[in-house]
């Protein structure tokens, strides 16, 4: 079932009230989702910037970023499958870049599976470039591409 057109939602800080929705997104979006304990840890970690994109239909996307000194690590971006292709992932990544810069980061790093062409296209469109490859990093043998985006 499609949700119909999804307006680009402005991401906001996640709260404990978003816990169940984020756990559900993990299940819907990943072959190896983070479990409830991992999601709870992300929501409660002091060095994390955890954001959700929510509207009248509920939480449609989320991101988690760790910032330590000048480096931010984009740990997770997920968009409800029926809401993909409508700019929500781009809005979340743009929000990560703004939030990380505001927290003092000068660069953002992430890892993406080489076969994940949709995520790779999103990251390329938001200015990330490959700086390293981790051979056979993921289950099943897929390489992990380490991407970097420098911040102004």
Map residue 67 onto helix, strand or coil. Answer: strand
pLDDT per position as a tens digit, 49-87:
999 998 877 899 999 999 999 999 999 999 999 999 889
What was the pLDDT predicted at 127?
97
Instruction: Break the chain into its structural domains and give their ranges.
Output: 12-150
List, as one string, the DSSP characters of 79-136.
E-GGGTTSSHHHHHHHHHHHHHHHTT-SEEEEEEETT-HHHHHHHHHTT-EEEEEETT
Instruction: Look over the chain and give the mean of its residue pLDDT values, rounded to a whole number.
Output: 92
Checking if the pLDDT of 92 tops 80, the result is yes
Mean pLDDT in residue range 3-11: 63
Q: Tell the CATH topology of 12-150.
A: Aminopeptidase (3.40.630)
Question: What's the pTM?
Answer: 0.90
5 and 86 Cβ atoms separated by less than 8 Å: yes
What was the pLDDT predicted at 1?
45
Give kind and range of the element (H or E) at residue 21. Answer: helix 19-29
Supply the Cα-derived Rg of the chain in whole angstroms: 15
Mean pLDDT in residue range 104-133: 96
């Amino acid at each position: 079932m499609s949700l119909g057109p999804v307006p680009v939602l402005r991401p906001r800080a996640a709260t404990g009230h978003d816990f169940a929705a984020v756990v559900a997104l993990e299940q819907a979006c990943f072959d190896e989702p983070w479990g409830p304990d991992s999601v709870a840890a992300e929501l409660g970690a002091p060095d994390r910037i955890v954001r959700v994109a929510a509207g009248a239909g509920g939480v449609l996307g989320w991101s988690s970023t760790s910032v330590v000194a000048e480096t931010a690590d984009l740990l997770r971006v997920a968009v409800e499958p029926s809401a993909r292709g409508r700019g929500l992932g781009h809005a979340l990544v743009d929000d990560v870049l703004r939030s990380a810069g505001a927290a003092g980061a000068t660069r953002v790093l992430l890892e993406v599976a080489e076969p994940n062409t949709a995520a790779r296209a999103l990251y390329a469109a938001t200015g990330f470039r490959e700086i390293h490859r981790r051979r056979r990093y993921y289950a099943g043998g897929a390489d992990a591409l380490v991407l970097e985006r420098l911040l102004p």
